[in-house]
Amino acid sequence: MEIGSAEWSAYKEAFDKFDVNRDGTIDVGELGRFLESGGTKLGDDELRRVLSKLDRDGNGRIDLDEFIAFARPMMQVHQETFRRLDRDNSGFITGAELSLSGLPRHQVDQLLRIADRNGDGRISFNEFVRAML
């Protein structure tokens, strides 16, 4: 299945967050540091297991194609979740729409602070995906 340039750019941007040394691959150290920055600390054996599941060619590193193969199903889940929250189909999620999902007001406010990067009071799909990473 082909992916468009906007979708490819989103995957590349996410990949680059992992690929700290910019060598075009993600090694076990980069994977560990990235996960740890998000609050997930895995032991060396666990990290190697995660990496081996993503590393289709068995070279000990994850390249962009392998990353996309892993990330694409997650992106589809994000798209579906975004569509469900964007009740008016405006392409943005507002605080009111988040409230309709049953979240308490303090959680709605917290989500807006985290995800609304440009401060316009609503969450675009790109902002939503970045907040999920």
For 29-76, how does the pLDDT look when each residue is reduced to its tens digit (9 = 90+)? 999 988 887 677 889 999 999 999 999 999 999 999 999 998 888 888
Structural domains of the chain, ranges and CATH numbers in brackets = 1-71 (1.10.238.10), 86-133 (1.10.238.10)
For 89-128, how does the pLDDT look when each residue is reduced to its tens digit (9 = 90+)? 999 999 999 999 998 999 999 999 999 999 999 999 888 8
Helix residue spans in 19-101 (DSSP H): 28-37, 44-54, 64-85, 95-100
For residue 19, give the amino acid letter: D
H or E element that contains 59: none
Residues in contact with 43: Cβ distance below 8 Å, sequence separation at least 6, in sequence order: none
Specify the pLDDT at position 1.
56
